[in-house]
């Protein structure tokens, strides 16, 4: 594995980087520089919830509105720019809604093939989607999953608070939907790290799926994003994805960590060749 390889993990909605630390540590132990930046849209300190240790999700949006998914991508982009400036080849790993963030952050100017054409080194070498949303160019996460008639469907794993779809959402029964293959004590440990988030309304501004090698890890026991949806999104792309399968629920970064590291290494080796 190239010493110039780095991995940047884009975490899911309602999360902090905390549940991804086992994955970060395991990749780092393999000599792979790895980061998982906090997404602003899931950062309680930016959501006007009062005391972040006892948050009030019924409060109004902060002055100027909630952070946007575009802000998440910009946060990841800053980290990519630093790594690329060091000559790093970066694999983006997007989990759940972090798939949109990874895709948006992988702008053409950061893509290794494009940079090579320009006589520059480093860059994003590919995107590894982990039970993630594959959102088409020009669409947002919210728009992609909602009915086209303007009605709002709330999935069983989440709820909106006082201000409805214009306010904050949080997870419902995360022990089932996020951590179904963990024992109760372990699940509660990670449930305590969850936050809130507004709906993701920023559109994807480019098509990284055609420009970069992409992989998809299908989570066989996922109760949040069922297997059939994962496989459908991965197979609907014009450029074929490399597809892997994991016998676990929605959080392989916790429950399938070593195997996930091996799979990421396998794909990284493939695209670095």
Tell me how far apart the alpha carbons of residues 49 and 197 are, in angstroms, rounded to a whole number: 11
Cβ atoms < 10 Å from Cβ of 4: 15
Cβ atoms < 10 Å from Cβ of 64: 6
DSSP 8-state code for residue 19: G
**Torsion angle defined by CA atoms of residues 123, 28, 128 and 177, in that order, rounded to the nearest 10 degrees:** -140
Tell me how far apart the alpha carbons of residues 62 and 97 are, in angstroms, rounded to a whole number: 22
Its pTM surpasses 0.85: yes
Q: Name the domain count of the chain.
A: 1
Among 22, 73, 30, 13, smallest CA distance to 204 is for 73
Helix (H, G, I), strand (E, B) or coil at 253: helix
CA angle at residue 237 from 98 to 42, to 5 degrees?
10
Among 173, 139, 166, smallest CA distance to 152 is for 166
Per-residue pLDDT of the chain (273 residues; tens, 9 = 90+): 568 999 999 999 999 999 999 999 999 999 999 999 999 999 999 999 999 999 999 999 999 999 999 999 999 999 999 999 999 999 999 999 999 999 999 999 999 999 999 999 999 999 999 999 999 999 999 999 888 888 888 999 999 999 999 999 999 999 999 999 999 999 999 999 999 999 999 999 999 999 999 999 999 999 999 999 999 999 988 899 999 999 999 999 999 999 999 999 999 999 997
Structural domain span for residue 236:
5-272
Tell me how far apart the alpha carbons of residues 187 and 8 are, in angstroms, rounded to a whole number: 25
- For position 149, what pLDDT does the model report? 85
Tell me how far apart the alpha carbons of residues 13 and 18 are, in angstroms, rounded to a whole number: 13
- For position 146, what pLDDT does the model report? 87
The radius of gyration of the chain from alpha carbons, rounded to an integer in Å, stands at: 18
**What is the domain-level CATH number for residue 94?**
3.40.50.1820
Token pair, residue 42, equals 């899931």
């Amino acid at each position: 594995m190239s010493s110039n390889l780095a991995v940047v993990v884009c975490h899911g909605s309602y999360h902090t980087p905390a549940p991804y630390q086992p994955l970060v540590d395991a990749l780092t132990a393999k000599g792979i520089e790895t980061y998982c930046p906090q997404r602003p849209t899931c950062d309680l300190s930016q959501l006007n919830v009062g005391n972040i240790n006892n948050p009030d999700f019924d409060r109004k949006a902060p002055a100027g509105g909630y952070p946007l998914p575009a802000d998440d991508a910009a946060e990841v982009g800053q980290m990519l720019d630093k790594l690329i400036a060091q000559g790093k080849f970066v694999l983006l790993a997007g989990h759940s809604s972090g798939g949109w963030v990874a895709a948006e952050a992988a702008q053409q100017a950061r893509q290794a093939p494009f940079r090579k054409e320009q006589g520059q080194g480093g860059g994003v070498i590919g995107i590894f989607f982990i039970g993630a949303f594959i959102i088409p160019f020009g669409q947002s996460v919210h728009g992609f999953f909602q009915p086209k008639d303007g009605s709002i469907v709330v999935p069983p794993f989440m709820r909106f608070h006082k201000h409805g779809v214009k306010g904050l959402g949080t997870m419902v029964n995360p022990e089932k939907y996020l951590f179904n293959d963990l024992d109760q004590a372990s699940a509660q440990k990670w449930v305590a790290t969850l936050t809130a988030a507004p709906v993701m309304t920023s559109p994807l501004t480019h098509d990284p799926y055609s420009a970069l090698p992409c992989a998809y890890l299908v989570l066989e026991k996922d109760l949040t994003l069922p297997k059939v949806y994962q496989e459908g999104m991965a197979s609907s792309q014009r450029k074929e994805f490399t597809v892997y399968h994991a016998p676990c629920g929605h959080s392989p970064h916790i429950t399938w960590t070593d195997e996930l590291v091996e799979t990421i290494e396998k794909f990284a080796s493939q695209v670095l060749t």
